[in-house]
A and B are shown apart, each in its own frame.
Chain A
Amino acid sequence: MAEASYPPDLSYHEEHDWARIDGDTATFGITWYAQDQLGEVVFFDPPTVGKSVRKGDPYAEVESVKAVSDVISPLSGEIVEVNEALSSAPEAINDDPYGSGWMVKVRLADPSELESLMDAHGYQESLG
């Protein structure tokens, strides 16, 4: 995705991860800024369904040719679905970070955590 983009319907974590809320589940991924910093993503190893994730902790790694980055969970919960397609097509993370580049779907443990996330405007400001 060539142009910076931060959809207004998402919530953002300062470690450059987004969450799309849908009732008591949420979808996570990394932001445009994160994938731009990383460069072309060459490898993403999806975590396993059933694994617990904790707000602020890493739950997976994403690799470019010359760098490895932890993917931070914006909220706590349990992974209910993973994007297996990323194993064979990790470039979706660069091309469509908020759509086909989604990483995991999580059943939220504590929806009140949402309050500590930023909105699109706040996140963009924080990038300076």
Chain B
Amino acid sequence: MREVPGFFRLATSDLKRRPLRTCLALLGIALSTALLLGTLSLHAGYVRALDSTIDRMGYQVLVTAKGCPYEAASLMMRGENVPMYIDEPIFDAILADPDVLEATRIFMQSMKSEQQLGSLVFMGVDDQYLRLKAYISLQRGKWFTGEHAPEAILGYNAANTMGLDLGDKIPVGQSRTPLTIVGVFDRTGTQEDGMIFMPLRFSQELFDKKAKLTAVGVRLKNLELLQGFVRRMFELPQVQPVTMTQFRDTIMEFVGTSRLLLLLSALVAAVIGSLGVLNAMTMSVAERMREFGVMKAVGASARNIFLLTILETGCLGILGGLLGIGITAAAGIGIESLLRTYVPFAPPGRLVFLGPLHIAGCLAASILLAILAGIYPALRAARVRPAQVFREAA
């Protein structure tokens, strides 16, 4: 043990003196840090997850039936039924556009699981689908034997949750047509992991929507051609295009509003946390006036006392900040599941992303706030006049 206590030892030793008060001050800082970091991490995580989801869709434009295009895109990304259809011949018109590199027909239906597994999402696809989605590959089994074959390929999660494997059969639709499982896809980390894929033609017949499509996914030869393509799509009957960029921007507008509200909450929490530190330190300094008097008597300068008190509040800021970071990290999974319940569109993947810059920034903010809150008590402590203190004590 050191015989001469350093400034750090002097500062931290006082924090142990009133553990409850210290804990409450720490909690105030920790909660405001957690709220700020949570907001920033959530925003960063949401943007990353959304971008990743959009990137992995494999197409830049989704052509849907006229209506609200964003609703259609959002429903499709969530794997829900889109109650509007386009006629299949339009697919050929789209494919004929000179700027189109590849296009895929999408037919999507959902129905309740008989095994109480929630909604089952069925996706009717053609060969083009896998060409656009290069990241999807078969883990086991094979592709469909024909366009009308009553076969299914399961997404990775769907196979696991339903407990099905190659050769098993599942009855589907009102006719309870048995589908034979011919393949299982590898994990992709997207909504597709939970889907059941069928040949396009077979799925249209099964759900009595012959020559109908939910959407057409389009990849252009070049992103610079996007504007011209969109303009031409608006000229086609029945359909409207929605670009993934527009879709992203619309979602981010909504998220941005929520983020602003959360940041305001974090600001309020930070003010409350700072007031907690101010209160704790003012009380602590008032209780220790004689101690500071003794310190000055034995050779401490006003600057020494000021720095000592600021160091103490700085330690509160560091500890509170670290606690807040810990709270955010620990609560991340809970926050995610809560969000998935209440947010209209939550992309798959981690929604809370704890980036090192955000962590460092929030820790710095908590230290700064604590130090700012400590300035007044530190000045009071530094201004203590030993003679006055001891005269009052005498």
B and A form one assembly: no
**Residues of chain B having any CB pair with chain A under 8 Å:** none
